[in-house]
Structure 1
């Protein structure tokens, strides 16, 4: 687990707001360090796996995939990880989330153009061995950046904000 200081937290927050259009200098101005520090910190955050990647937000309806479906599924806990890899290979599946619960432990989001896609994806999920507990057509998804990076860690006796 990486130990983040306020500079790292500020950089992560700024990247979540709009990574594509934020320059190192703009981020540096917000977190009160140099642009080179921001670049170095981003490199470190990527190397340690804190930042896993940069992904576009896609409007599937505009991309001619107007049907978004959320499947709530149950997978045997001992097989869940292997099943996720198979689920991600199903055409139309765009997101799989695992939970720690015994039942209803996989949330699978899929997109398509109509009911034939939904039926195909449903069949594929059954073939993998999942039990579909429920499904719902999604209307809208809203995501916001986590904005609580600036907490005071009671176990952190020093606040490291020096430039590198």
Structure 2
């Protein structure tokens, strides 16, 4: 799908507030409300927009432990392992990476006991060779938003 300037402006508006009305987005982008509706539907159909979710501060809900886990696995089995890990509760991200590890997993927990069980569950998975768990000391930035204005 080709993304034009209007699509980018609509995406920028939605990044600021995904609950913004089509009317308000149309006014800010300077196009008709129907155009905004059609563009958003097309962006959804093409997988550019995957959904609309609230930006939740999980630490306010008690999820104060953030673990970044490097996972090494036997070759050829990584996609299955990543898929299983991705389905586990508390997992916010799974990245297939280059470098020292095969995958990086980001997980949030309320208690160390939960994290301990999670890491041991990963290690007990067939074909997982090793893990390395790092704990985030402070969250400096955490966002799925990027600046689209330079595109």
Structure 1 and Structure 2 fold alike (TM over 0.5): yes
* Partner Cα distance (2:54, 2:12) in 1: 17
Counterpart residue number, 2:104? 107
Q: How does 1:137-156 map to 2 (within 5 A)?
A: 137-140=136-139, 141-143=141-143, 145-149=145-149, 151=151
Deviation at 1:45, TM superposition (A): 0.5
Deviation at 1:149, TM superposition (A): 4.5
- Choose 46-55 or 90-99, whichever is displaced more: 90-99
1:95-120 residue CA offsets vs partner (Å, 9 max, x unmatched): 21222x15323221112222211110
Q: How does 1:15-34 map to 2 (within 5 A)?
A: 15-20=14-19, 22-34=20-32
> What is the DSSP-based 3-state SS (H/G/I as helix, E as strand, rest coil) of the residue aligned with 2:62?
coil
1:8-67 residue CA offsets vs partner (Å, 9 max, x unmatched): 1111111111112x1112211222211110011000100111111122222222112222
Contact 2:70 2:133 in 1 (8 A): yes
Identify which of structures 1 and 2 has the higher relative contact order when contacts are C-alpha pairs closer than 8 Å and 6+ apart: 1
* Partner Cα distance (2:32, 2:142) in 1: 33
Q: Does residue 5 of structure 1 match 2:7? A: no
Counterpart residue number, 1:52? 50
Structure 1 unaligned regions, length at least 5: 152-164
Structure 2 unaligned regions, length at least 5: none
Counterpart residue number, 1:38? 36
Contact 1:6 1:150 in 2 (8 A): no
Q: 1:96 and 1:50, CA in 2 relative to 1: closer, same or farther beyond 3 A? A: same
Contact 2:67 2:133 in 1 (8 A): no
Q: 1:113 and 1:144, CA in 2 relative to 1: closer, same or farther beyond 3 A? A: closer
Counterpart residue number, 1:118? 115
